[in-house]
Structure 1
């Protein structure tokens, strides 16, 4: 085989592993192993380890693409003429992606958090803040709501998707996978700036650094 053919085969196997890993992590979460991914991709385990030294390298490759996709959603939200429509667009698209991808939801909730994953997520935080700031400055979002509030509200809503995913589907209901959207719309009513007075929130918002710290798994021992 020529060197060019070997390079093409290597690139093709890498893409197969990324696609298989994304599919497997989406359905089973980040506990799936690199061996599992190799079998799912239809390649040998040795081939998998030649393309990725360990599972973390594969997760990072997938995570970079997911961050690109989330950044595109945020930039579309910021380009929306109406700041409230942009905020809703961001929440709907981001939550839809996480509802379909357990691995992504786990990453965004800080379930696995080496520093290089943290740096990728730092790309998103300023854009989320801008989405919130834009709606708040237009008088459409509560004055005391920040970008970090939007992140934690999403973590709460994705837990609904997890509960549905692990539960038994009630007879006659084919819409339980979309149940999180019901609570999103209830939440959106609470985020709107009201025409009259509103209750003061009992706990201050987190800063972005505080949010990142809190999302890191607690050390034990």
Structure 2
């Protein structure tokens, strides 16, 4: 009668390699999260590898392509936006939900170019198509409810809502470091055009001339 084979025991060196591989994977994800936030989804894998302190070959061993890395790096942030959408859809009045979705969502998008491209982009990345499929029903439902409740003027479309997000997130991006709260004034002005009846609430703080000129210079570049 033969002696039973002993259970396979993983060598200490194998466990060490697995830990190193997992540490590298997490470093790459964190580096990609930071690079995509600062530079957008056009950032290259070489730059991400350099930021992570690994070779680009290590990136390719951990992620089959750039789309997989984008998903791994920005999945949590997309889920954060979806949690805001869940909160917005539960609002007693749809108008309040729309304003919550814009206010909280724009705070996140203004500081993360990559996430902004996923949420508002043209569909050049698979992540955009997936996010679009998940977000659009929230917006459609809120717009329909707001119109039925008498708060939204007739004829406002999902595309109108997306254009407002694009415009205000650009203001937020270019005013960061000068007047980080400036975008809320312009959100208030633009959304007033969506209302069935104009809001008489006071506008938030106006820009002074030097701040407006500094933001404009960031936006258009030096003449």
Match of 1:121 among 114, 128, 132: 132
Where in structure 2 are the equivalents of 1:48-59 lying within 5 Å? 48-59=59-70
- Which residue number in structure 2 is paired with residue 42 of structure 1? 53
Question: Structure 1 residues 56 and 115 mapped into 2: Cα distance closer, same or farther (>3 Å)?
Answer: closer
Could you tell me how far 1:136 is from its partner in structure 2?
1.9
The reply on whether 1:187 has 2:182 as its aligned counterpart is no
Instruction: Tell me the alpha carbon deviations over residues 91-130 of structure 1, each in whole angstroms, 9 at most, x when there is no partner.
Output: 0111111101111122333256145641332111111211
The reply on whether 1:60 has 2:71 as its aligned counterpart is yes
Structure 1: 5+ residue stretches without partners: 166-173, 196-221
- 8 Å contact kept, 2:33–2:74: no
Match of 1:18 among 29, 34, 37: 29
CA–CA separation in structure 1 for the residues paired with 2:165 and 2:24: 34
CA–CA separation in structure 1 for the residues paired with 2:82 and 2:128: 15
The reply on whether 1:80 has 2:83 as its aligned counterpart is no
RMSD, aligned CA: 2.4
Question: Structure 1 residues 42 and 76 mapped into 2: Cα distance closer, same or farther (>3 Å)?
Answer: same
Aligned residue pair count? 187
The reply on whether 1:178 has 2:191 as its aligned counterpart is no
Deviates more, 1:5-14 or 1:70-79: 5-14
- 8 Å contact kept, 1:98–1:158: yes
Question: Structure 1 residues 23 and 93 mapped into 2: Cα distance closer, same or farther (>3 Å)?
Answer: same
CA–CA separation in structure 1 for the residues paired with 2:136 and 2:76: 16
- 8 Å contact kept, 1:18–1:62: yes
Match of 1:157 among 157, 168, 173: 168
SS at match of 1:155: helix
Instruction: Tell me the alpha carbon deviations over residues 7-41 of structure 1, each in whole angstroms, 9 at most, x when there is no partner.
Output: 44433332322221111111122232112112222
Question: Structure 1 residues 47 and 183 mapped into 2: Cα distance closer, same or farther (>3 Å)?
Answer: same
Instruction: Calculate the TM-score normalised by the size of structure 2.
Output: 0.73
- Which residue number in structure 2 is paired with residue 30 of structure 1? 41
Instruction: Calculate the TM-score normalised by the size of structure 1.
Output: 0.73
